[in-house]
Structure 1
Amino acid sequence: MTSFVLFGSFFLFMILSVPIAISLGLAGLITAIFSPNISITFLTQGLVTSTDNFALMAIPFFILAGEIMGKGGISTRLFNLANIFVGRFTGGFAIAAVITCMFFAAISGSGPATVAAVGGIMIPAMVAQGYDRKFATAVIVTSGSLGIVIPPSIPMVLYGIAGNQSIGDLFLGGILPGILIGVCLIIWCYYYSKKKGYSGTKEDFSFKKMFSALNNAKWSLLVPIIILGGIYGGIFTPTEAAVFGVVYAAFVSLFLHKEIKISHFPEILAKAAMSSVSILIIIGTANAFGTILTMEKIPQTIAESFLTLSENPIIIILIIIILLLIIGCFIDTSAAVIIFTPILFPVAAQVGLDPIHFGIIMIVTLSIGFITPPLGVNLFVGSGISGLSMPSLVRGVVPFFFIMLISLTIIAIIPQLTLLLL
């Protein structure tokens, strides 16, 4: 009965369009009032203590670093560099857009931030080059979802905390899957562009232009190398790497690129603070929600229910993926990771899935939620930039949705792709 009250009240609030953090908190509160075994005081203490975690400090710093870099002209430099290498080929602008999103994903750790930073430049440029606005926006919106797959990734930090796994290993595990998704998107962009006659820039490759673009983008290219190299080299923790990323981004943007000023920082800090606070509130209320799940032994019950359906790991993975695809349509990625990791982690463990591999499967699956309505955050950002209506953009994203599913299938059935670098 407690489970019914918990989930019933949660989904009721979601249907009423109550924000996810408030829905989680109210569902936990109502359940605590209903059940004599759950103390409201215990829940409120858990809400505070759940955010008192050193690893969680990485989240606001990665968000702040991404905001600074987004304002500091990094996305423009990355695109210019990518365009030098692939712009002359069929669909060159679209391919360069995917590559730019992949690099920016390795900087920002956020899907919507990647869409906002790259889309504001790339969508108008692609339209001016003759690309259909719907296709151009769909490319950016889908490629932006790589923001949580290619490390550093905020959901990976959350999964590492919720599942008690190494964040560094998760970052390593996300590199090859992220590259695979990017390659699959590039192949589709080339095929579609060939079909529609989207030619390249027709400019010959020039070493002079290449070295010039490399020189302009060198400080941007160093960001993921320094952050990830520092983590895996044992120089600093993911949290310390995030702090270093902020300092580096501020220094490069202020003194080397000189595209932002000190006067811009209040706005940047305010935007990063709002994003951080919303995530941390979700973490706190989701933890209270998860505490009730644990007390009522709901994860164990669900794990046993899954195993009654089948003990075949492939069938279990398929069921989990379908469940997460549905969840991603309605629940914010950060909240979904916090809520469903304790529920699904025991299921994965029962069928022998490596916890890092399962974490990457979970995050890649939830990344598809960025392009699936009704939540589809990347869709809203892309629609705002391009001026396309939501139904029109969703139709443009459909082929990319299936490309993402194909990539996810490859990642799920080939664990070596995730575990090779560990």
Structure 2
Amino acid sequence: MLVWFLPLFLILLLVGLPVFFALLFAPGFLLWLNGQERDIALLYRNVYQGMNSFPLMAIPFFMLAGEMMNRGGITLRLVEFSQALMGHLRGGLAHVNILSSILFAGLSGSAVADTSALGSMLIPAMEKNGYSRKFAAAVTAASSVIGPIIPPSGIMIIYAYVMGESVAALFLAGIVPGILIGAGLMLVVRLMADKYDLPKAERIVKADRTIGPVENLIARVLARINMAGVLYIIWALIGFAVTLPAINGWVLFVVFLLLSEGIFFRARKSMSEEARTVYKRAVVPLQTPIIILGGILGGVFTPTEAGAIAVAYAAVISLMLLKSMTIRDLPDVLRRAAMTSAVVLLLVGAAMAFKTVVSLSHTPETLAAFMLGLSDNPLTLLFLINLLLFIVGMFLDAGPAIIILGPILGPIFTDLGVDSIHFAIIMSVNLTVGLATPPMGLVLFVASSVSGERVETISKAILPFLAVEIAVIFLITYVPAISMTIPRLTGFAN
């Protein structure tokens, strides 16, 4: 009897019942019909228990950090930085939209926040520069799925919570796939530029932007430290391939700092003062993902503490350094972050309760036997599971889908020899792309609200971008090194 909970759940979704209520009503109704009233109490008690978790506190912290940076004008700085880098390309503002999503992903980890914050700025700008509104909305929706893939990522925190995986390993595994999706979307824009006569653009550098002396000094120092860090990483990667001379790490870092000064000295001669100002204005905000990842990987703080650090950093730079936000703005920022976090956590709690009925119905064992009956070849099963996840992603939000399907599907593939981190990335990326997939992709509705364009129109315009994202999913699936190299090099995966 209980095996009918999933068809009933899908029917409730199709008739328009909100996901939270469908997740609770479908199994609760069947438990009542089955005479299992005691299990109904367990079901609804698990809603609270599913949310009552220290690791999940990272989600509202990252939501709050993203809201503070958006209100503090940080998003605008990232857009201007992207415009200065890529605005001169054919279809330049579309490239800017995608690059801004990649950079914004390191701040919020939310596709919805990305679509709302960047779309409200870039969709009108793109329309003003000759792009159709439906194309601008489609680019915004398609690129926003990068947000939960590049760390920090809310859905990866949820996956790690449910499946007992390392958050740091998942964060590291998501870096290359996220960048790969961004590069694929830019390739589509470039191919469409000539065919659809996308507007030409010139390098856009705001001439009226200023930077305070304190921020200017901090940005100069941080930029050189970051460049030295990049050179140090390149040196370390070369060391994996060839034998390099043993040099003290601090001595090497000082040498790279001097090299960085030389690089910036040469770069200073080739760009205008306005361009240098725009670049320097982006340095301080771009430290957020570096602080988060560096602290987690270095063992300085946990992912939840990293979220709190991100909030503190956002508050310092918005309220004190940049002074782009005031104390009066805080109540509204806190309200918006609380509403967004509440939606996510309620879905997590309901999905954890839903998971209880999944285990009571023995669905995991039944599905595992069915799948292994189709084939025992991991490559074939991975193809089939990608199709299943893609269909699920059309109707269900990524967080609940991970909680429901992760415990069912994860053990099947780990038993077949698929690395658990690799499968986590396959599942996370696939379900995240589902956020931009019709008919019920959440970011499509957000993009429609921001742009004023109909969801059906955006759904048609987004198809070329979805094709590339699906291709990247299969590339990640069958080339594990794409997602596993960084975690293995850093010792977070075998």
Q: Could you tell me the TM-score, scaled by structure 1's length?
A: 0.95
CA shift digits 1:180-215 (9 cap, x unpaired): 111111111122123314222167972533321121
Aligned equivalents of 1:203, 1:347: Cα separation in 2: 51
User: CA, structure 1 residues 288+365, in 2 after alignment: closer, same or farther (shift >3 Å)?
Assistant: same
User: CA, structure 1 residues 100+172, in 2 after alignment: closer, same or farther (shift >3 Å)?
Assistant: same
Q: CA deviation at 1:78?
A: 0.8
Q: CA deviation at 1:351?
A: 2.1
SS of equivalent residue, structure 1 residue 421: helix
For residues 262-277 of structure 1, what are the structure 2 equivalents within 5 Å? 262-277=327-342
Aligned equivalents of 1:309, 1:350: Cα separation in 2: 16
* Residue of structure 2 in register with 1:308 after alignment: 373
For residues 182-331 of structure 1, what are the structure 2 equivalents within 5 Å? 182-195=182-195, 196-201=197-202, 206-331=271-396
CA shift digits 1:260-313 (9 cap, x unpaired): 222222121112111111222211221111112113321122111111101111
1:396 to 449, 456, 461: 461
Q: CA deviation at 1:356?
A: 0.9
* Residue of structure 1 in register with 2:245 after alignment: none
Q: CA deviation at 1:163?
A: 1.2
Q: CA deviation at 1:256?
A: 2.5
Aligned equivalents of 1:242, 1:107: Cα separation in 2: 10
Q: CA deviation at 1:417?
A: 0.7
Aligned equivalents of 1:390, 1:285: Cα separation in 2: 27
Whichever residue aligns with residue 129 of structure 2, its letter is: Q
* Residue of structure 1 in register with 2:56 after alignment: 56
Q: CA deviation at 1:353?
A: 1.2
Aligned equivalents of 1:257, 1:117: Cα separation in 2: 19
- Which stretch has the larger CA shift, 197-206 or 212-221? 197-206
CA shift digits 1:38-79 (9 cap, x unpaired): 623322332222222110111111111111112221121111
For residues 350-361 of structure 1, what are the structure 2 equivalents within 5 Å? 350-361=415-426
Whichever residue aligns with residue 158 of structure 1, its letter is: I
Whichever residue aligns with residue 146 of structure 1, its letter is: I
* Residue of structure 1 in register with 2:435 after alignment: 370
SS of equivalent residue, structure 1 residue 341: helix
In structure 1, the gaps of 5 or more residues are: none
* Residue of structure 2 in register with 1:29 after alignment: 28
Aligned equivalents of 1:145, 1:137: Cα separation in 2: 13
SS of equivalent residue, structure 1 residue 136: helix
For the 8 Å contact 1:28–1:288, the answer to whether it is kept is: no
* Residue of structure 2 in register with 1:128 after alignment: 128
Aligned equivalents of 2:76, 2:432: Cα separation in 1: 24
For residues 69-88 of structure 1, what are the structure 2 equivalents within 5 Å? 69-88=69-88
For the 8 Å contact 2:155–2:398, the answer to whether it is kept is: yes
Aligned equivalents of 1:332, 1:202: Cα separation in 2: 38
Aligned equivalents of 2:282, 2:48: Cα separation in 1: 42
Q: CA deviation at 1:414?
A: 0.7
For the 8 Å contact 1:299–1:346, the answer to whether it is kept is: no
User: CA, structure 1 residues 289+138, in 2 after alignment: closer, same or farther (shift >3 Å)?
Assistant: same
Aligned equivalents of 1:393, 1:185: Cα separation in 2: 16
For the 8 Å contact 2:131–2:198, the answer to whether it is kept is: no
Aligned length: 421
Aligned equivalents of 1:282, 1:88: Cα separation in 2: 42
Whichever residue aligns with residue 103 of structure 2, its letter is: F
For the 8 Å contact 2:85–2:203, the answer to whether it is kept is: no
Aligned equivalents of 1:166, 1:201: Cα separation in 2: 44
Q: Does 2:3 align with 1:11?
A: no
Aligned equivalents of 2:198, 2:54: Cα separation in 1: 52
* Residue of structure 1 in register with 2:473 after alignment: 408
Q: CA deviation at 1:13?
A: 2.1
User: CA, structure 1 residues 73+303, in 2 after alignment: closer, same or farther (shift >3 Å)?
Assistant: same
Q: CA deviation at 1:327?
A: 0.8
* Residue of structure 2 in register with 1:99 after alignment: 99
Whichever residue aligns with residue 247 of structure 1, its letter is: A
Whichever residue aligns with residue 305 of structure 1, its letter is: F
Q: CA deviation at 1:103?
A: 0.6
* Residue of structure 2 in register with 1:332 after alignment: 397
* Residue of structure 1 in register with 2:409 after alignment: 344
- What stretches of structure 1 move > 4 A for 4+ residues in a row? 202-205
Aligned equivalents of 2:133, 2:7: Cα separation in 1: 41
- Which stretch has the larger CA shift, 212-221 or 253-262? 253-262
Whichever residue aligns with residue 307 of structure 1, its letter is: L
Aligned equivalents of 1:209, 1:99: Cα separation in 2: 20
* Residue of structure 2 in register with 1:162 after alignment: 162
Aligned equivalents of 2:345, 2:184: Cα separation in 1: 33
Aligned equivalents of 1:237, 1:52: Cα separation in 2: 17
SS of equivalent residue, structure 2 residue 306: helix
Whichever residue aligns with residue 111 of structure 1, its letter is: A
Aligned equivalents of 1:394, 1:198: Cα separation in 2: 22
CA RMSD of aligned residues (A): 1.7
Aligned equivalents of 1:180, 1:206: Cα separation in 2: 29
Whichever residue aligns with residue 172 of structure 1, its letter is: L
For the 8 Å contact 2:83–2:204, the answer to whether it is kept is: no
For the 8 Å contact 2:83–2:203, the answer to whether it is kept is: no
The share of aligned pairs that are identical, in percent, is 37
For the 8 Å contact 2:55–2:161, the answer to whether it is kept is: yes
- Which stretch has the larger CA shift, 85-94 or 238-247? 85-94
Q: Does 2:380 align with 1:379?
A: no
* Residue of structure 2 in register with 1:111 after alignment: 111
Query: Computing the radius of gyration over CA atoms, which structure comes out larger, 1 or 2?
Result: 2
